[in-house]
Structure 1
Amino acid sequence: MTSILDSVDSRTRLVGENRLELLIFQLGTRQLFAINVFKVREVLKVPHLNQMPGSHPKICGVATIRGHSIPVIDMRQSIGMRPLEKDQETNLIVTEYNRTVQAFLAGKVVYIKNMGWDEIMEPPSTGRSNYLTAITKLEHENQNKLVEIIDVEKVLAEIVSYDIDISDGVLDDQLTNHLVGQKVLVVDDSSTARKQVSETLGQLGIECIEMKNGAQALRLLKGWCDEGKTVTDEILLMITDAEMPEMDGYKLTSEIRADSRMSNLYIALNTSLSGSFNEAMVEKVGCNRFVSKFQPDLLVDVVQTHMRERLEK
């Protein structure tokens, strides 16, 4: 299974083209689930798991992989189902999110599917959709099957608490009055991620306008332009995720830069994807800053730095 994860370069090229690759897997039933391959380090059979007394009930143990102790989370249990029963098809999906490495206990890994973000749809607002960022459909075993794309950030936020407190010395008192009442456009398909950003910036008196994907955000921005409004008068800046249904953050940024009516909008990419890769993509598509999730102090720094730039003009 690890061999199908070797061609990293080819996958990174997809991201700038509004495409992604999904790792499709099962959780002990015939239902198909998925996460973005780019978050996956490797897939392997389940090694011995050491138990951690007092750990979160969704953590089923710790695996030692290549000399590192990695917490193992029961993916099935984490999205509101009964714990996964281990069998010969059980796998570990080792991932990296928000600068941390963790493994998910999963069932059979089916295959990897190359898709366009325009083929990815919002989930219905029912039942297990609380743990989904999106859905898609594909042919599997001669059937048109629904694939549920898991909101891993929400899963992790319920296990590892994220602190939105701003460290001492980060806030610039000289900017406080200028920031109160400013608006920031936050674009992310994860409700958990949007909440984290909004609650962080809310401490500065900033109002966040939330959008679920790049297509929604672009419609809003173009609508303002069509009404004769100046985008930079409406919002201070935009903070966008990379991976989103319909249109990803890279495509969104390139569309904004290509429209002279709003090409000067300050854009920060805020994502859980690989830092070194995103720094290259930021330069390629024209983002102003890159911030890996979730770092409240850096989000505040992005906002304050741009506010200073505005005041100095």
Structure 2
Amino acid sequence: MMISRRTTLRLAALGAILASKPAAVFAAAKVRIGVLKFGTVSWELDTLKRHKLDEANRIDLEIVYFAGEDATNVALLAGAIDMIVTDWLWVSRQRSEGGDLTLAPYSTAVGAIMVNQESPIRTLADLKGKKIGVAGGPLDKSWLLVQALARRDHGLDLPTACDVVFGAPPLISEKAMQGELDAVLNFWHFCARLEANGFRRLIGADDATKALGASGPVSALGYVFHNHWASDNLDAARGFVKASKQAKDLLAKSDDEWLRLAPLIRAEGKELEKLRDRYRQGIPRRPVAEEAADAGKLYRVLAAIGGEKLVGRAPEMAPGTFWAELAK
């Protein structure tokens, strides 16, 4: 078949255009992250995707939604996804049992004990005999840290000195709003919503961590992945961490970005502002080596109070729990 000179020139021009495109356009590495559909991580990931920060860092981020945290853990361990968000205690336990998971800090935002503005409760000691709602279960890190502080400073064993009720975060907040609980310990974003609706912080888990020996904020959660995956896909792992930081920087500076996210967050006005401010306070800003050192101190406190049910048989946080590449 004869090809006209005009067609030949067009094909040559197209070839030149394709050849001139950066190799990164064709080399974006797939990163599959599993998250909860309505979790706070989705705010950051939505920002990352909206502003194409994944493309800018040569990754193709695929967000896979799950109904519960257990499902994300199983999917990661099975290799169905590359990354999830969870805490360093779980990472350390997996490593101590032979796994190779590791973590890049995501957020230092943590829960707090909240009371009504008009409540006479002013210190941990005032919780004696009170009815407390706790989200996250009896092995929740924030609950254990607050217990440790109450024991040390007030000789108070909260589980026996108080009427403790465990429940799902939304239910705990609802019961607090209805006045059925004297105090509640909830996750950070539920606490922020309570703050916007007539409640005050009695003590945050971050206050407890500092009182118990941490030199600064410690990330409660991190982006968790297999170390061998990161080693085999180093550019992708680094690219994701960089894109995450850029999304955080945008959320730290732009109030308009929070207004855009309002429908996803399901908040507006004072509630949205409080969530924005608490999120910003939780952006990790310390060198990872400092966080890892403080996490190691807190691990010993948590192991002492939570026992094998929490940490297994490992008396110390497993080396490599925090991704060593971040310290370079």
Q: TM-score, normalised by structure 2?
A: 0.29
**Highest CA radius of gyration, 1 or 2?**
2
Higher strand share: 1
Which protein has greater RCO, CA pairs closer than 8 Å, 6+ apart?
2
Higher helix share: 2
